Amino acid sequence: MKTNRRNFLKYTGLAGAGLAGAGLLGCASQPGDKAPFRQTHNQSFNMSGYAAPKLETVRIGIIGLGNRGSGAISRHVHIEGVKITALSDIDPAKVNRSREFVRDYGHEPAIYSGGEEDWKRLCERDDVDLVYICTPWHLHAINSIYAMENGKHAATEIPAAQTMDECWELVETSERTRKHCIMLENACYDFFEMVTLNMARQGFFGDIIHGEGAYIHDLMELNFSKTVYADMWRLEENSRRNGSLYPMHGLGPICQLMDINYGDKMDYLVSVSSNDFMMGRMAEELAAEDDFWNDYAGREYRGNMNTTVIRTTKGRSIMVQHDVSSPRPYSRIHLISGTKGIARKYPEPARIATSHHGWLSDEDFKRLEKEFSPEITRRVGEMARQVGGHGGMDTLMDWRLVDCLRNGLPLDMDVYDAASWSSVIPLSEWSVANRSGSVDIPDFTAGSWQTNKPLMDIMLEKGGTTKLI
């Protein structure tokens, strides 16, 4: 699909009177100014803890068969009770290649390709229960909302939404249709993240004070590749928005540890971005050798490093960083600090401490890691590693989603998580554009966070019956 600049701005909500009018494209804030973002809604149905009717067989339609979509297919063919009934991508070659792959595993999906809205026909099919969405970011909310409107559960790659309006529409559509909308945050299923979640739930850290997460990943070559992201969509994101563009990998596991939306909630944030010292320079250098890059030279790109700080209603703090253009080793930080202890994952190896005297020995660390490894790891972890997907965490995520649907259980993450974690993107943009002004984070649960119970069942107290094959 050829996405021109005007359509891109329309999709992301940065054109016209949308978020541009809220100050995202400039305009410094004044003392006492409030960001004009809606704060709450009349909840029609609380989706937290909602269990949809059991599905013995989960019939899946997959939209978007690029990097993430093709990986999803390779994992789902190993999950018991899955039937891939439909595939869609704008590129016919990707659709045909994916169909041939799944046929070897006994699936005969219908295919939709060639038209910009062929994916809608997939959502309208009677033999699809779950629409699994791996399209470019600006289409995630559009795809998810249409899927729910057509009676399907929606599972979307991150982020679930790009604008505040999209966040609210996801919430209200899920509540009205009573269809699940889960954001596929695989980092919540990484092995050490689940160990620390179990430790937090068992009181190892005491009272949680502070958490840190990040997405620090040098993607310069990929973002400036002509072939990796269709129509250069990811570079377009980096050249049109300035804030925390991809906070969920670092933020999601910390929110789970702090019971955000399940006993606490994010209250407000401030965000600051550096200048761009990297991307504009690369665009100029490439344009000097290849006219293709002329349209990208001379643009303003987002700051190389964004740091967003969040305060929760119960007084905890969270720091989230985003940098995909500096030559730094990969890091999601994953630091959790409490009154009795601290853990951090990056830089690797991961470490745990219980006092200021220093990190525990390797022997003590391994003992605690084994002690607090949850049931999901013990039961499914080794097979998930064999199937693959970021070391197995992708497979654990997909397996658990299918297992919940087959057993009629609440999902580990809900639409309120999808909306609140995604809202950090437009809210951080507003803060950056307004001299790092403080901005309230809406309560997408309409007050239900005070009584909602944590969802992520890493101990497999229910379900866990689906096999990996």
The 10s digit of each residue's pLDDT in 266-298 is 999 999 999 999 999 999 999 999 999 999 999
The DSSP letter of residue 189 is: G
- 112 vs 10, which has greater pLDDT? 112
The residue with greater pLDDT, 30 or 378, is 378
For 348-361, write each residue's pLDDT tens digit. 999 999 999 999 99
Over residues 1-13, the pLDDT tens digits come to 333 333 333 333 4
Could you tell me if residue 269 is left (phi over 0), alpha (psi between -120 and 50 degrees) or otherwise beta?
Answer: beta
CA 1 to chain centre: 23
Q: What is the DSSP letter of 305?
A: -
Q: Give the pLDDT band of residue 114 (cuts 50, 70, 90).
A: confident
pLDDT digits (tens, 9 = 90+) for 32-41: 456 679 999 9
Closest Cα partner for 187 from 114, 237, 234, 255?
255
Distance from CA of residue 307 to its chain's centroid?
18
List the helix and strand counts (H, then E) for the chain: 15, 14
Phi, psi of 212, deg, nearest 5? -135, 140
Segment 63-84 mean pLDDT: 97
Q: Measuring CA to CA, how many Å separate 136 from each of 237, 298, 340, 349?
A: 10, 24, 42, 33
Buried b (16+ CB within 10 A) or exposed e, 127-157: ebbbbbbbbbbbbbbbbbbbbbebebbbbbb
Identify the residue with better confidence: 153 or 114.
153
| Structure-token match 């965490």, residue found | 393
Contact 23, 29 (CB under 8 A): yes
Res 27: pLDDT: 36
List for the chain the helix, strand, coil content (%; round to 5).
40, 15, 45
| Cα–Cα distances in angstroms (integers) from residue 309 to residues 242, 254, 448, in the given order | 16, 13, 24
Structural domains in the chain, sorted by start: 188-374+415-450 (3.30.360.10)
pLDDT band at residue 451 using 50, 70 and 90 as cut-offs: very high
- SS3 at position 69: helix
What's the mean pLDDT when you consider all of the chain? 93
Under a CB-based contact definition with an 8 Å cutoff, are residues 58 and 81 in contact?
yes
Q: Give the burial class of 97: count Cβ atoms within 10 A of its Cβ; 0-12 exposed, 13-18 middle, 19 or more buried.
A: middle
Of the candidates 227, 244, 237, 246, which has an alpha carbon nearest to the alpha carbon of residue 299? Answer: 237
Separation in Å, CA 141 to CA 117, 135, 270, 278, 368: 14, 10, 25, 30, 40
Spatial separation of the C-alpha atoms in residues 130 and 59, rounded to whole Å: 6
What's the rounded mean pLDDT across residues 67-81?
A: 97
